[in-house]
Structures are given as C-alpha cells and as structure tokens.
A and B are shown apart, each in its own frame.
Chain A
Amino acid sequence: MNMILKMVFKRIALGLLTLLVISVLIFVGVEALPGDLAEAILGQNASPETVAAFRQELKLDLPAHVRYFAWLGGFLTGDLGNSLANGRPIAELIGWRFANSIFLASAAAVVSVPVSVVLGLLAALKRNTLFDKIISMSTLSTISFPEFFVAYILIALFSVKLVLFPSISSLNDHMTFVEKIYTITLPCLTLVLVVAAHMMRQTRAAIINILSSPFIEMARLKGLKQSRIIVLHAFPNALSPVINVIALNLAYLVVGVVIVEVVFVYPGLGQLLVDSVAKRDIPVVQASGLIFAATYIGVNILADVLSIISNPRLRNPR
C-alpha cells in the first residue's frame, strides 16, 4: 500500500508541475496575441492620453513577469481578477458556466462510458462476425466526422425534421433536472457519438490483445464459457489501457465541448472562452485556459491512479 501512496503522490506532484508550466504557456501565449486591448476597447479614435490612462489603470504598463506572478498569486488565493470587458469578477462569470460545462460533460460520460465498454466487450466476444463489423464501421464513421458536422446533422434530423428536441440548449435555474436533461439531449448525443467510438475501439483492441495470453488459453482448456473468459479473465487485465482511454476522452469531453457549446448556444465555459477571445478579455481567457488545463490534468492523474490500483501486483505486494 505504501508503494501505491508513493506513486500517487509522485503523480500529483508531477501534475502540479505540469500545471505550473502550462500557466506560463498560457500567459505567454495570450501576451503574444496580436492587437492591443486598450485600443480594442476604447476604439481607434481614442486619444493617446486616454489609452495610457486605461493601461495604467489595468496595470498593463507593468513588465510581463510582474504581471505573471501577480496573476498566479491571485489565482492561488482564489482571486481570479475582474473581466476587462464588463468589470465583473471573473469567478462569478466562470463559476456557473463551468458547472454547466461539467453537467453536459458528465451526462455525456454517464452514457458513453458504459455503452462503449459494453460494445467493445461484445465486439471482442463476437470478433470478425457481422455484429463486430457493423459496430466497427459505425463507430469509425462517427469518429471520422467533425463534431460540428455531427451536431448539425442531429439538429437537422431531431429538431427540424422530427421536432423532438430543441436545437438551442439554453439552460436556466428554474428548470427541473428532467427538463435540463431534455434540453441538453442533442449536445450530449453529439459528444457521445464523438467519444464513444474511440473508447469502444480501444476496449476491443485491449481485450483482443489479452486474448492471446497463455492464461486465456488456460481458461479455455479449463472448459469455461467464452463470455466468462472475456468478462472475468480478459477484462480485468485490460483495465489499464481501457481506463486510460476513458480518461483521455473524459478530459476531452470537458475541454473539447467548446465547439459543441457554440453550435447549441449552450451557456458553458467554452462559449464564454470563445466570446472572451473575440472581446480580447485577456484575464477571462487566461482563467478559463487554466481551469481547462487543471481539469485535463486532474482527470489524467485520476486515470493513472486508477490504473495503478487496477494492477494486482501493485495492490498486493509480495
């Protein structure tokens, strides 16, 4: 157990280090954006004095490293600063939108993970049959389409033709849970279609890889049923690669919702990020970027820890 704790601790420390590096990258990246915020906000005709005063007020005249540490310090103490565009605290802007993004991503995960793992198991079980080929082909096609395309196809089909679900997913606090789920059906389905293929194919590949192990031959020669061999003998040993691909896709769900949120006008963090980039609202962009990065790293650490725990050799040392 001690060894596991040590490894987990190491992973977390590495994750924090990565996050620090990313914070530098985000800061530098945003600095490198062309155009000037003051001019963008005040307009082309503003006098140089007004621009200078504006810059001073926002501390844009200070050297970059000073601003970086001030920003990072603020971030660590929970003060994300204020939006440049409207002066409101960023925490307030981001908070409920981030919650909305997580809600959408979780809904997609709750559907896609079990479905794709079960489909992957079934495909491995019925390898090279028609069923396997149909699953492989259909998942491959959904993975090949860009998500905005999938989104518009779904809108055309389910909102325009069949009029089953709304094409605009605007959430509000007065909705019940069921209403919320109904509202996000289409964006959720889009995300499911995009990530499920990847997870399903990885599950199938991992299981098939394990099926050539001597202990699977042993299970066959013990006269066990094929379904039992796949579920009880192959799957536990395929957990590590499966967990990793699930984590990768969960992280993608949280981070990659941007386009889907825009298509469905969903009030999430991605939507805010896109708006803020257009408005050159640098502090909001930076904060959103860092939150996305933290989520991504967090999910990956979780996956690492889970796949360590799924290894019986590490869980039960000699």
Chain B
Amino acid sequence: MNRRAAGVALAVASAVTAVVATFLPLGRMGIGRGDSRFGYTTTGWSVTTEPISLAGFAPTAQFGVPIVIAAVLLVVAAALVFLPEHQKQAARYTAIGATGVLVGSVWTTFMVVSAWLSPSFRGERTPLESEYGAGLWLLVAAGVVAVVATVLLHAKPRQPAPEGPIVHRLVDDADTDTDTPPFGTSVPVLPAGYLEQPRESHGQPADLHGQSPEPHGQPAEPPGRPSETSGPSRETPGQPREPSRQSRGPEDHKP
C-alpha cells in the first residue's frame, strides 16, 4: 500500500471514528451510585441528567455539528484523491481544511469538558466524582489520525523506475555544446585557384583565356546557371563533401 492509499484509509477511519465519538459520553460528573446517583453526562449532542429534573442547569451544546461536518469534508478529501494528477490539489486543500476544523473542534471540546469537570468549588471535601468519557478520547484519536492522513495525502507519487539504459541527452545549444571533437574539426581544402575559376568564366567563354574553366577536366557549365556552376568541389580524402564558399582561401586551410 503506498502512502496515498494509506492516507485515504486513515482519513476515512478518522472520519468514522469522529462521528461515532460524538454519540459516546464525553464526560461524566456526579455523586452517588445506582438509583441514588446525582449528576450529568454529556455527549456531543446532548446532556443527560440524573435525576431528569436537573436538566435546566446544564447547557446542551451541539459540539457534534462542526465535528461531523469536518468528518464529511475529510471523506470528500479522500474521494478527491482519485481525481487525475493535475486536480489532486483539491484533495490536499480539502484535507487540510477538514483536519483543521476537526482538530480545532476537538481541542476546544476537550477544553470545554475539562473546564466543566474541574470546577473550583470541588475541593477535598466535595464528594463529586468526574471522569472523561470514551468519546473524548476517541475524538482526540480521530484528530491525530486525521493529521497523519493529511500528511500522507500530501505525499508525492512514486516515480517509475527507468527501464533500459539511461541516456543523457545534451541540449544542442551554441552556448553549452561547443566542445571541440576529440580528433578536431575537419577543415575543407579546396584545389588551388578553385574560388577564382568560376568568377573568371562567368559570362565569358572559358577558352578565351587559353585555359579550361574546369581545371580538372569537367565540362564547362552553360552561362546563366550560377547555382550549378558553384556545384560540388572535388573530394579530398578525409575532407567534407560540401566545401563552403564562405571559408577562407585554400592556403589558409591547409593544416
């Protein structure tokens, strides 16, 4: 079970526990036993008195209202986890809101019950007995579990393990990938007089100068086709096939 699944399970468990706890006794204060008992028992929804005629002295606070609403929000947050990845932010914030309200309500309820069970007039000689109820401890446990669930719901999803060899691709950027290759950069070497040759033969017959426009025996190209006269140069072993006309002169390119 991954962490998110555990968070969902804990959130639901916390919500159910909190709702159940509101119906259990939060605290009990009284005197006597059996039929002669005299006192109060409070839950998240009501206060029961023994005898019933004491009902007017105890305020019946509905502590369960914010607790139940927080529990419902917690379940909603657990359900929102199953949304697509880019919408799971809703689950996380709903979980935070629900947990915050639940913890705040439980904490304050604990303080109210604690203050109610420890009145100042109960001294050494007072036979009043008081005890915290199981509902209060269950509420505290539900709050703690809700916090843990919210933390787990914020866990990042597990990244899939890479399969096969790991290939690091370098970005083809002029600023970062400009290292010289291990055997240097190949420099084109043009035949002597290659760059001047097409300029002399352009628009004029080549044999007027007493030499062939193509020093290596290639037939002269008809005028008017500059794109073809500047065609491929002779290949030199180990040199690039397409020499650039923007390169420097052949003397400068000799190694």
Tell whether A and B belong to one assembly. no
